[in-house]
Chain A
Amino acid sequence: MLSFAATILLDGISYGMVLFIISVGLTITMGLMRVANLAHGSFAMIGGYIAGYMTQRGYDFYFALLIAALIPGILGAFAEVTVIRPLYRKGELSQVLLTIGVVFVVTAAVTEIFGAFPYPVKFPDYMTRPIDIWFRTYPGYRLFLIAIGSVIALVLWYIIDHSLYGARLRAAVDNSRMAQAVGMNVNVLFTGTFVVGCALAGLGGAVGAGILSPEPSYALKYVVLFLIIVIVGGEGSFKGSFVAAMALGIIDTVGKYFFTEVAAYLLYAAVFVLLLWRPQGLLPPKSVA
């Protein structure tokens, strides 16, 4: 019984890690610049497709991951300068619409290039094998996800909580006008953060391809999940999005094991109730709370 519970917990955590890697960039951009970016899932999708393309052609898995992070990062920089930047001055409606437009364009391009079917990533052999952990054997891939997710979370936590860049970022999220007034270049800060967020999304899409498989409908299908994490965690809250991602991963996994019939809407119902109870999310940044 205990080992079963632990298995579910591990499943949930590894799933949550994927969600966290993908959505952490989104939480910072939404918290910092208040852009409702529905196109974030497209960057994860692009990352997944790149990893799939390269590993199927025999390139090294980790090299593929690097490229899968790099290209979405570059595309993110391009998108930020061309279409996202004019959005800062506009309302939410324009932001939602334009980013949906981006989703449409990316979806069409991906279908055109890779075809309309799921495009699997070929993981290294040692990940597809079950590995013995003391109470049972467990898929290596899931352990890899937990490992890489933990590393990324720790690094990000260190940067955000203990570096000058992190202090600036937190200041800008809490009050961007004040940050600007004391001489910070919030625009550059934002562009940099946006690019890193897109690169992380690409990486998350690549490593998470075993759970959220790259397919043309990816960008529209999963963006709701990513948004849920951001909103539930509190826009701009790094810790909040980690907690929300873990909770969502575990709740969804428990739901799939025990309440197969109602799992899908149980999750949305939970989000619904939670947002009615706390419209600002679980752990909103200081200025919002």
Chain B
Amino acid sequence: MTPAKPSTPAKPSIAPAVAASGTGHYPLPIALAGHALPWLAIIAFFFFASGGGYLSFGTTIMIWILFAMSLDLVLGYAGIVTLGHAAYFGFGAYVAGLCSIYLTSDPLIGHAIAIVAAAVLGLVTGALILHTTGVTFLMLSLAIISMMFEFANKAKDITGGDDGLQGMKVGPIFGTFEFNLFGTTAYVYTAVVLFLWFLIAWRLVHSPFGRSLDGIRQNARRMRAIGTPVWWRLLAVYTISAGIAGSAGALSAHSTRFVGLDVLSLLTSGIVTVMLILGGTRKLYGAFVGAVVYSVVQDSTAKISPNFWEFIVGGMLILTVLFLEGGLMDIGRVVRNFIAKIAKRSGVA
């Protein structure tokens, strides 16, 4: 495939969004440093935190990052407003968990099966609901996740219901790297998986396919008019995203050796959406910023009062929507514009 000729003609309305989603407008060294920063932080955290008990906290955050990144593809790039994305995360977690109990203790095989299973679920449910839009779609996504939650709750023989899935046997990765008590294996494994998915997602959103998603988000009717198979494109990205979410679920199941019912809850869907919005959509790195900020805020405020974090997170969400539409990733630009405005005003006066 030659990437030179995008399947969609470049329209002026798409160009700014594409430019804003890349880092092309920074000088190369700064852009490279920007790209290296999150990964260096992940490596640095490994060495600083492996002494204390915080490594598993880091693993959890990376799993949230991966989950939020998968949501970014659907919600940020394709503009599909869903509240049911935890369905695929939870499904992946349960599949990985059940695999390790009944099939094989090899985490890689379980992980692969979980990804495929979640992607198939995304394909089937997406094919059913993607012809709707707006609030109807939102409702259908809620119906899906509610159905799955109730099923997992009732099918105690399979899922353990309220008590969660117990008795997972997770073997060593490649037969050598045991999941140890300190969580070092889980951390490295999660980081590697996150990096691989990030490369795939980055390639995806900067391909003609990704650009066509940009176009669909902005004007689906026009995209249809110029010959883009809108429904197929949306189904494709929905399926891929479901697979990534399932991968995050499998990582969560393997690293904790436990799957709780709450992986399928509406709250999980809500939290991952909050993370993404907080960090900023359509940047992929927004998921990194959002998941870290959310987790740190939750962890530190929960020490003050068990429900204070909900207050803070809710407040952050309201303020983000009202004043910071691009999320925290956008804060530099907002501040710059603000300073420019002040400077201009004082210059005029």
- Chains A and B form a bound pair: yes
Q: List 13 additional contacts besides A98-B322, A105-B314, A224-B266; criterion CB under 8 Å.
A: A30-B135, A93-B79, A94-B321, A94-B325, A97-B273, A100-B314, A101-B316, A101-B317, A101-B318, A104-B310, A227-B139, A231-B139, A275-B136
The reply to whether B147 and A269 contact each other, CB–CB distance below 8 Å, is: yes
Distance of A219 from chain B, by nearest CB (Å): 11
User: Given the complex, which residues of A lie within 8 Å of B136, measured CB to CB?
Assistant: 231, 275, 279-280
Distance of B348 from chain A, by nearest CB (Å): 28
Stretch at the interface among A6-14, A64-72, A187-195, A260-268: A260-268
Binary contact track A92-132/B, C-beta < 8 Å → 1, others 0: 11101110111111111101100010000000000000000
Determine the distance from Cα of A83 to Cα of B273 in the docked complex, in whole angstroms.
19
The reply to whether A264 and B154 contact each other, CB–CB distance below 8 Å, is: yes
Which 5 residue pairs are nearest across A and B when measured between Cβ atoms? A104-B314, A101-B317, A108-B311, A264-B150, A105-B314
Stretch at the interface among B113-121, B126-134, B222-230: B126-134
User: Given the complex, which residues of A lie within 8 Å of B143, measured CB to CB?
Assistant: 228, 268-269, 271-272, 275
Determine the distance from Cα of A93 to Cα of B133 in the docked complex, in whole angstroms.
12
The reply to whether A97 and B321 contact each other, CB–CB distance below 8 Å, is: yes
Find the B residue at minimum CB distance from A270.
B143
B236 is an interface residue with CB less than 8 A from chain A:
no
Distance of A97 from chain B, by nearest CB (Å): 5
Using a CB-CB cutoff of 8 Å, which residues 239-289 of chain A contact chain B?
261-262, 264-265, 268-269, 271-272, 275-276, 279-280
Contact of B322 among A86, A106, A116, A265 (CB under 8 A): A86
Determine the distance from Cα of A264 to Cα of B147 in the docked complex, in whole angstroms.
7
Using a CB-CB cutoff of 8 Å, which residues 284-334 of chain B contact chain A?
305-311, 313-318, 320-322, 325
The reply to whether A101 and B154 contact each other, CB–CB distance below 8 Å, is: no
A235 is an interface residue with CB less than 8 A from chain B:
yes
Find the A residue at minimum CB distance from B321.
A98
User: Given the complex, which residues of B lie within 8 Å of A107, measured CB to CB?
Assistant: 307, 310, 314
Find the A residue at minimum CB distance from B305.
A112
B112 is an interface residue with CB less than 8 A from chain A:
no
Find the A residue at minimum CB distance from B142.
A224
A220 is an interface residue with CB less than 8 A from chain B:
yes
The reply to whether A276 and B140 contact each other, CB–CB distance below 8 Å, is: yes
User: Given the complex, which residues of B lie within 8 Å of A100, measured CB to CB?
Assistant: 270, 273-274, 314, 317
The reply to whether A92 and B135 contact each other, CB–CB distance below 8 Å, is: yes
State how many residues of chain B have any CB contact under 8 Å with chain A.
45
A36 is an interface residue with CB less than 8 A from chain B:
yes
The reply to whether A103 and B314 contact each other, CB–CB distance below 8 Å, is: yes
Distance of A182 from chain B, by nearest CB (Å): 27
Distance of A281 from chain B, by nearest CB (Å): 8
Chain A, interface SS category: helix
The reply to whether B311 and A272 contact each other, CB–CB distance below 8 Å, is: no
The reply to whether B75 and A93 contact each other, CB–CB distance below 8 Å, is: yes
B267 is an interface residue with CB less than 8 A from chain A:
yes
Query: Chain A interface (Cβ within 8 Å of chain B)?
Result: 30, 36, 83, 86, 90-94, 96-98, 100-109, 111-112, 116, 216, 220, 224, 227-228, 231, 235, 261-262, 264-265, 268-269, 271-272, 275-276, 279-280
B81 is an interface residue with CB less than 8 A from chain A:
yes
Determine the distance from Cα of A280 to Cα of B139 in the docked complex, in whole angstroms.
11
Contact of A102 among B134, B140, B274, B314 (CB under 8 A): B314
The reply to whether A105 and B311 contact each other, CB–CB distance below 8 Å, is: yes
Query: Provided the pairs A100-B274, A102-B318 are in contact, do residues A36 and B308 lie with their beta carbons within 8 angstroms?
Result: no
Query: Provided the pairs A105-B315, A108-B314 are in contact, do residues A220 and B266 lie with their beta carbons within 8 angstroms?
Result: yes
Interface centre among B75, B310, B315, B321 (most CB of A within 10 A): B321
Contact of A108 among B83, B308, B317 (CB under 8 A): B308
Distance of B78 from chain A, by nearest CB (Å): 12
The reply to whether A112 and B139 contact each other, CB–CB distance below 8 Å, is: no
User: Given the complex, which residues of B lie within 8 Å of A227, measured CB to CB?
Assistant: 135, 138-139, 142
26 A-B Cβ contacts within 8 A? A83-B318, A90-B321, A91-B81, A96-B83, A96-B138, A97-B274, A98-B317, A101-B316, A105-B310, A105-B314, A105-B315, A108-B307, A108-B308, A108-B309, A108-B314, A112-B305, A112-B308, A224-B146, A228-B139, A231-B136, A264-B150, A268-B143, A275-B136, A276-B128, A276-B132, A276-B140
Determine the distance from Cα of A116 to Cα of B322 in the docked complex, in whole angstroms.
30
Determine the distance from Cα of A100 to Cα of B270 in the docked complex, in whole angstroms.
8
B144 is an interface residue with CB less than 8 A from chain A:
yes
Binary contact track B130-169/A, C-beta < 8 Å → 1, others 0: 0010111011101110110011011000000000000000
B86 is an interface residue with CB less than 8 A from chain A:
no
User: Given the complex, which residues of B lie within 8 Å of A102, measured CB to CB?
Assistant: 314, 318
Contact of B135 among A106, A116, A231, A268 (CB under 8 A): A231
Determine the distance from Cα of A63 to Cα of B48 in the docked complex, in whole angstroms.
60
Distance of A266 from chain B, by nearest CB (Å): 9
User: Given the complex, which residues of B lie within 8 Å of A220, measured CB to CB?
Assistant: 266-267, 270
B277 is an interface residue with CB less than 8 A from chain A:
yes
Determine the distance from Cα of A224 to Cα of B83 in the docked complex, in whole angstroms.
11
Distance of A117 from chain B, by nearest CB (Å): 13
User: Given the complex, which residues of A lie within 8 Å of B142, measured CB to CB?
Assistant: 224, 227
Determine the distance from Cα of A279 to Cα of B134 in the docked complex, in whole angstroms.
10
Distance of B128 from chain A, by nearest CB (Å): 6
Interface centre among A276, A279, A280 (most CB of B within 10 A): A279
Find the A residue at minimum CB distance from B278.
A97
The reply to whether A101 and B321 contact each other, CB–CB distance below 8 Å, is: yes
Determine the distance from Cα of A237 to Cα of B20 in the docked complex, in whole angstroms.
41
Find the A residue at minimum CB distance from B266.
A220
Binary contact track B62-82/A, C-beta < 8 Å → 1, others 0: 000000000000010001010
Distance of B140 from chain A, by nearest CB (Å): 6
User: Given the complex, which residues of B lie within 8 Å of A108, measured CB to CB?
Assistant: 307-311, 314
User: Given the complex, which residues of A lie within 8 Å of B138, measured CB to CB?
Assistant: 36, 92, 96, 227
Determine the distance from Cα of A228 to Cα of B136 in the docked complex, in whole angstroms.
10
